[in-house]
Amino acid sequence: MSAWQKHLDENIEEILIDEQMLAKRVNELAKEISAAYQTLDIDELVVIGVLRGSVIFMSDLIRRLILPVTIDFLAISSYTKGTRTSGTVRILKDIAESITDKHVLVIEDIVDTGLTLQCLLDLLGARRPKSLKICTLLDKPTRRLVDLEADYVGFQIPDKFVVGYGLDYEGHYRQVPYIGVLKPEAYQ
């Protein structure tokens, strides 16, 4: 057993969503999103990934969309070191292209309190896109502090600290191919 595998075995409490479940749900979301936007007969869909957590999910999702897409990225943070939001949202990297009069789909890794996503929606909405929708891999509705729902949700999960498939703890665990619950002693 490698040192990395031993580390995972010691620090992952449980696998919440395995690789097969992820692949199946990403395929379902891609079909749902493709069908919804095909009815609009759009020229292109601008897909904006929220860095860094959404990258793996977004990559898998856009390869399965049956639509013309362009991609862009932004980085926004409300976390400092640790597992809880700081309450202050910072734009670390903005998108490069205009989204005015374009159909926009924002890809998030997880919607927790909703505060960061609300800030993001306000920021992008002020740029007058033709439509603005949110797709999130994970949703923790029990933690929501604002009245906000994503348009497309991969999985609703309980209030547990999760890593893998792009989600991290202090930059680590993003490459884990499943969604796992991190043991509290690993981050406290």
Q: Which residues are catalytic?
A: 112
Q: Which residues are paired to 165 by β-bridges?
A: none
Q: State how beta strands 12-17 and 85-93 pair.
A: unpaired
∠ CA 33-26-179 to the nearest 5 degrees? 140
b/e per residue 83-108 (b: at least 16 CB within 10 A): eebeeebeeeeebeeebeebbbbbbb
Which H or E run contains 178? Answer: none
